[in-house]
Amino acid sequence: MKTASRWLMILLIPLFALTAGAAENYVEGNEYTKLDSAQPTSSGDKIEVVELFWYGCPHCYHLEPFIEKWLKNKPDDVEFVRLPAILGPGWELLAKAYFTADLLGVLDKTHSALFDAIHEQRIKFKDDAALRAFFMQQGVPAKDFDRIFNSFAVAVKLNNARMMTRRYAITGVPTLIVNGKYSTGPGMTQSSDPKKPIGNEQVMDVVDYLVAQERKLAAAPAAPHAAQ
């Protein structure tokens, strides 16, 4: 049994080395960037990963399955937050749809369905009435939609989304922010080939790498105070 275990470790060592080597190749300015100013997080002691997205963005739609796969194995010390980005007035309607669903507790019914409606069924959501009809199709009573969609609570969340979109200084979506410090996304490029963008699966690998860096930082002993 010990011999088998020893051989298993011998076989796995090159794999561990390859994985570690790949992670070490992630370079600031290529696979990720560091924010000019670290932003506050809302996840307490957990490492926060924020996804900035827009329902109308095809790249966000294509990243979604990789995020869902990543969430199934998300470490307990990581908090994942979705945040609709608002890069212009035309982004606000679908951001309101997200926050309405969130406050109604129906994101499990609407989130993927709204992506599919836009990118598969080619439905154009141009006004409140179109979204109202969509929510009703997902089993949300019209009176509940009307009560929340134009509520003060949604307005507060919209203002926060506008503010954080500016503070994260993003120029496009999808963008993932790790612990208020680092930014990555499919628009970044590979260190091995700066002309080639990183793929959706590698984006989540970069997120894991940055989470690991933050975990190490949190575990490191505090520097001693200088003697007076």
What residues contact 83, with CB distance under 8 A and at least 6 apart?
50, 51, 52, 53, 161, 164, 165
Q: How far is CA 37 from CA 102, 123, 165, 205, in A?
A: 29, 39, 13, 24
DSSP string, 62-81: HHHHHHHHHHHT--TTEEEE
Which CATH code is given to the segment(s) 90-169? 3.40.30.10
Q: State residue 221's pLDDT score.
A: 79
Q: State residue 224's pLDDT score.
A: 65
What residues contact 8, with CB distance under 8 A and at least 6 apart?
none
| Separation of alpha carbons 218 and 17, rounded Å | 24
**Rg (alpha carbons) of the chain, rounded to whole number:** 21
Domain 29-52+67-85+173-198 shares a fold with domain 90-169: yes
pTM of the model: 0.86
What residues contact 1, with CB distance under 8 A and at least 6 apart?
none
**pLDDT 10s digits, 92-126:** 999 999 999 999 999 999 999 999 999 999 999 99
Q: State residue 225's pLDDT score.
A: 60
Domain boundaries, the chain: 29-52+67-85+173-198, 90-169
| Separation of alpha carbons 165 and 155, rounded Å | 15
Is 127 strand, coil or helix? coil
Q: State residue 14's pLDDT score.
A: 43
The one-letter amino acid code at 23 reads: A
Select 29-52+67-85+173-198's CATH number: 3.40.630.30, 1.20.1050.10, 1.20.120.1730, 3.40.30.10.
Answer: 3.40.30.10
Residues of the chain with pLDDT below 70 are 1-24, 222-228
Q: State residue 219's pLDDT score.
A: 87
